[in-house]
């Protein structure tokens, strides 16, 4: 059965082979039937219903603002028959038309490719799994999509009371809410965490793997790079550390950059060849080097100092 527009500018459905009307053209607008045999049709004045291939309203209700998400799930606003003009409840339906009652009046942010419904209610965030039906009620300040580690343990980074933690689909706390940020690194079965503006590493049981004495990190070419003092490689994981200036007063490396400025710019000549009707050689002034003066503040003693480096342009 396929959708077709009739001579009366209304929509109905015809047999795929005979092209004869199976459902007469009576709807202002309509969609094709999904794999569950459900179509969305518009009656007029923004009123919409869900019908099956027998042209029956499968839910017995009338909606407006109906839209289809990933995997043919349906978002809609329910119309109150006693007060049609009033704003109705927001609902979320399966492709069959059955309502997922836990999500009534939730604002659906997105349905991810993994089948995770990201939602919010009263400025709190939660998730619902289309695969398992598990539901984490919206109670977190922020929540990031669930993923699977190498051990197939689903988890998500969430924020509560302005602290980050890690939870599983049963809302069990995997890593406690003690950190500013958490970056899971599934290939190493650890998480990079930030606490008191310093970087450390914990496993998925919350146990400390590497102490909180790093200033930053990066992930390049399957390597986790922790920035600290000297270059060293950690067994199997190929992590390394790079240097940062010491405070000249207390010799602490817990320093942060506050400002920088470029001075002492030096220029030189570069010969360029311009190709046109004939080749023309000309000289151009280019920057060849300058001094970068960086200001730092020590987090340990509060001392402010500067460091100057000469930057040479290639």
Q: What rounded mean pLDDT belongs to the chain?
A: 84
Half-sphere exposure (CA, 13 Å, Cβ side) for 103?
31
Write out pLDDT tens, residues 62-95. 999 999 998 999 999 999 888 888 889 999 999 9
The closest alpha carbon to 241, from 254, 229, 253, belongs to 229
Q: Is 101 helix (H, G, I), strand (E, B) or coil?
A: helix
- In which residue are the tokens 């650890």 written? 190
Q: What is the pLDDT of residue 270?
A: 56
3-state secondary structure 214-271: ECEEEEECCEEEEECCCCCCCCCCCCECCCCCCCCCCCCCCEEEEEEEEEEEEEEEEE
Write out pLDDT tens, residues 87-134. 899 999 999 999 999 999 999 988 888 888 999 999 999 999 988 899
- In which residue are the tokens 């302005």 written? 162
To 10 degrees, the CA torsion angle through 89, 139, 141, 225?
A: -120
Structure token digits, residue 187: 């290939």
Series of mean pLDDT values for 10-residue runs along the chain (314 residues): 95 95 96 96 93 96 94 94 88 95 92 88 92 92 68 75 91 92 83 89 87 81 69 39 70 83 76 45 66 87 87 67
């Amino acid at each position: 059965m396929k959708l077709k527009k009739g001579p009366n500018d209304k929509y109905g459905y015809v047999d795929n082979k005979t092209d004869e009307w199976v459902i007469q053209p009576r709807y202002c607008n309509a969609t094709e039937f999904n794999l569950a045999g459900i179509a969305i049709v518009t009656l007029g004045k923004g009123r919409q219903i869900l019908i099956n291939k027998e042209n029956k309203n499968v839910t017995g209700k009338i909606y407006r603002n109906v839209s289809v998400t990933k995997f043919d799930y349906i978002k809609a606003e329910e119309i109150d028959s006693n007060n049609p003009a009033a704003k109705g409840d927001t609902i979320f339906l399966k492709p069959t038309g059955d309502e997922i009652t836990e999500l009534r009046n939730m604002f659906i942010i997105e349905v991810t490719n993994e089948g995770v419904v990201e939602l919010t209610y009263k400025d709190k965030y939660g998730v619902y799994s289309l695969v398992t039906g598990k539901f984490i009620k919206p109670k977190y300040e922020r929540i990031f999509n669930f993923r699977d580690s190498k051990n197939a343990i689903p988890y998500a980074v969430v924020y509560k009371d302005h602290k980050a933690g890690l939870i599983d689909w049963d809302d069990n706390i995997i890593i406690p809410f003690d950190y500013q940020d958490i970056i899971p690194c599934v290939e190493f079965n650890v998480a990079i965490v930030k606490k008191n503006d310093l970087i450390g590493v914990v496993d998925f049981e919350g146990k400390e793997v590497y102490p909180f004495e790093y200033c930053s990190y990066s992930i390049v070419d399957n390597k986790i790079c922790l920035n600290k003092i000297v270059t060293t490689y950690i067994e199997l994981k190929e992590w390394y550390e790079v240097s940062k200036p010491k405070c000249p007063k207390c010799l602490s490396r817990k320093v942060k950059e506050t400002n920088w400025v470029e001075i002492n710019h030096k220029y030189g000549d570069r010969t360029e060849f311009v190709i046109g009707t004939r080749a023309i050689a000309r000289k151009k002034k280019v920057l060849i080097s300058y001094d970068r003066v960086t200001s730092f503040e020590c987090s340990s003693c509060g001392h402010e100092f500067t460091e100057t480096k000469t930057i040479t342009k290639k």
